[in-house]
């Protein structure tokens, strides 16, 4: 069923099976109620161990929930994954060192169940232009900067034109100037593709600058503290002045929430 909601969670509980031969499971996050609209940009903040990355894994159908309900694009996560409606970008670009930029982008066409290209997928040359990689197409990963390698990883995730792009601290290992530049490029890319983006970060400034909404999670026990709506503070293309008083006030509020939700 088609809806205007990309991701819907009700009472969602997530975690991992117990280690060894024990019974039960190890809960990470519980009682998650969340709606992400199609074409929205949600950033996720929270202390280590609160379930940020685990939540992305459940959305991507890489991990089954322990309880509650989740729908992705109006159906189960498995259906969205099979349709290749979900792209995933990790902190480590995980590029194959013996393959060129072009060949790394095209890797999903040659491995796994997604070997056949989607009819509405993006052409590699279009992605190279979109990500500013055209002149680097034949370079190898060790000839690229950290920011360039992450652009390749994003291009690879966009190959099937996913309707949802999940990003797990993709810029966490980069210097601040490079990160700021890629933040701007990501916002432009989001507007051009119309994808729904869910972006995990440890940076309050990054969460505020990128997100239309910020989901703040607490740890031990993992739970939702607040969902902060930033849309009234953003311009027509989703940008804001990083130093505007209302933006710094929101950042201070988020910092207080994180302090409340961090283990002692």
In a domain, 70, yes or no: yes
Tokens 């910020």, located at residue: 214
Handedness of CA 125, 80, 12, 65 (dihedral sign): negative
pLDDT at 116: 42
In a domain, 184, yes or no: no
In a domain, 71, yes or no: yes
pLDDT at 121: 58
Q: Say which CATH number the domain at 21 has.
A: 3.40.50.300
Quick one: CA torsion of 164, 111, 185, 192, rounded to 10 degrees?
-50
Mapped onto helix, strand or coil, the DSSP state of residue 212 is coil
3 vs 29, higher pLDDT: 29
15 vs 12, higher pLDDT: 12
pLDDT at 208: 97
Binned at pLDDT 50, 70 and 90, residue 123 comes out as confident
Whether residue 172 has pLDDT greater than 90 = no
Tokens 């013996």, located at residue: 98
- What is the rounded average pLDDT of the residues 117-135? 80
pLDDT at 27: 83
110 vs 214, higher pLDDT: 214
What whole-number distance in Å separates Cα of residue 256 and Cα of residue 116?
Answer: 48
Which tokens belong to 213?
């909404």
What phi and psi, each to the nearest 5 degrees, are found at residue 239?
Answer: -100, 165
In a domain, 125, yes or no: no
- What is the rounded average pLDDT of the residues 22-30? 75
In terms of residue numbers, what domain contains 213? 1-77+195-264
In a domain, 161, yes or no: no
Whether residue 115 has pLDDT greater than 50 = no
Whether residue 57 has pLDDT greater than 80 = yes
DSSP secondary structure, 129-140, as one string: HHTT-GGGTT--
> Which stretches within the chain are classed as H helix?
52-59, 77-82, 101-105, 124-130, 146-158, 176-193, 204-210, 245-261
pLDDT at 1: 42
Whether residue 228 has pLDDT greater than 60 = yes
Whether residue 2 has pLDDT greater than 70 = no
In a domain, 34, yes or no: yes
The structural domain count of the chain equals: 1
Whether residue 173 has pLDDT greater than 90 = no
The closest of 52, 73, 13, 67 to 202, measured between CA atoms, is: 52
What whole-number distance in Å separates Cα of residue 139 and Cα of residue 218?
Answer: 42
Whether residue 24 has pLDDT greater than 70 = no
What whole-number distance in Å separates Cα of residue 171 and Cα of residue 153?
Answer: 11
Average pLDDT, the chain: 90
In a domain, 95, yes or no: no
In a domain, 215, yes or no: yes
- HSE on the CB side for 259, CA within 13 Å? 6
Percent with pLDDT over 90 in the chain? 72
115 vs 150, higher pLDDT: 150
pTM of the model: 0.92
């Amino acid at each position: 069923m088609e809806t205007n909601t990309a991701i819907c969670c009700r009472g969602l509980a997530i975690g991992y099976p117990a280690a060894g031969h024990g019974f039960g499971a190890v809960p990470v996050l519980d009682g998650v109620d969340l709606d992400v609209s199609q074409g929205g940009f949600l950033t996720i903040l929270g202390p280590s161990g609160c379930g940020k990355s685990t939540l992305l894994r459940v959305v991507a159908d890489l991990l089954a929930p322990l309880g509650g309900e989740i729908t992705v694009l109006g159906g189960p996560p498995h259906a969205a994954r099979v349709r290749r409606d979900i792209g995933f970008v990790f902190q480590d670009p995980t590029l194959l060192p013996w393959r060129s930029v072009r060949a790394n982008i095209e890797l999903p066409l040659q491995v796994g169940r997604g070997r056949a290209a989607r009819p509405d997928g993006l052409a590699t040359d279009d992605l190279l232009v979109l990500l500013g990689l055209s002149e680097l197409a034949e370079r190898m990963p060790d000839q690229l900067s950290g920011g360039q390698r992450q652009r390749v990883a994003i291009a690879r995730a966009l190959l099937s034109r996913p309707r949802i792009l999940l990003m797990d601290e993709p810029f966490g290992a980069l210097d601040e100037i490079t990160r700021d530049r890629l933040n701007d490029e990501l916002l432009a890319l989001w507007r051009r593709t119309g994808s729904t983006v869910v972006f995990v970060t440890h940076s309050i400034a990054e969460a505020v600058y990128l997100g239309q909404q910020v989901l703040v999670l607490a740890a031990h026990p993992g739970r939702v503290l607040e969902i902060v709506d930033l849309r009234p503070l953003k311009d027509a293309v989703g940008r804001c002045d990083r130093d505007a008083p209302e933006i710094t006030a929101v950042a201070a509020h988020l910092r207080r929430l994180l302090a409340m939700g961090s283990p002692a």
